[in-house]
Amino acid sequence: MKLIIDDAHIDQIKKIYEFYPVDGVTTNPTILAKSGRQPYDVLKEIREFIGAEAELHVQVIARTAEGMMEDAHRIRKELGENTYVKIPSVQEGFKAMKLLHNDGVNITATAIYTPMQAFLAAKSGAAYAAPYINRIDNMGYNGIQVARHIHDIFRNNALKTEVLAASFKNSQQLLELCEYGVGAATVSPDVIFGLVKNQAITSAVDDFIADFEKLVGAGKTMKDC
């Protein structure tokens, strides 16, 4: 499963890239608005940092298929042809997906709440389909189960589309989808930083160091022996 950062703050992205094995960055209009900066200024900074080959997912804003296509071509012009264009999984979106897929555009189908949306997006040429795990939970359904169901639909119908699970509230949700083998998950920095934030882990490391220092002296490590 690919692990992707769901954020647009370059300082957070750089910090996560320093420590964790991540595969790219996803953004959406709300995330970009929270940055308080002009969209392409933020996105170009991210693209420059992560490199031309890393995954960067950027969402269209237009409501019509024609407008979505115009947004998509501008996004790719500014950020590179490897950029994944996020298209909402609605009627106009499916039309845009089909046309963009024929043009060789990488498509991420977004705003997915139901397996049927994901199936139609996959049939329309989307490379990824992004179900919103926590938002589905908040509607009274099981977001993890919906994502698994979508994954199974893709495999059972020989569709190449992968699940890009989004909207997580905790590491347990991420773990369950990792165990199931979905294609990717995009996760906010606070959840990523919490993946190994555990007092038992910290205590174990502290105990090892304390025992070693009793043997060789405070502040010493293996290089000092």
For residues 64 and 91, give the distance between their C-alpha atoms in angstroms, rounded to a whole number: 9
Kind and range of the H or E run holding 122: helix 115-123
User: How far from 6 is each of 17, 26, 223, CA to CA, in Å?
Assistant: 13, 5, 39
The torsion region of residue 9 among left (phi > 0), alpha (psi -120 to 50) and beta comes to: beta
User: How far from 71 is each of 7, 111, 159, 205, CA to CA, in Å?
Assistant: 20, 17, 26, 50
Residues 6+ away with beta carbon under 8 Å from 35:
8, 9, 42
Q: Which residues belong to the active site?
A: 86
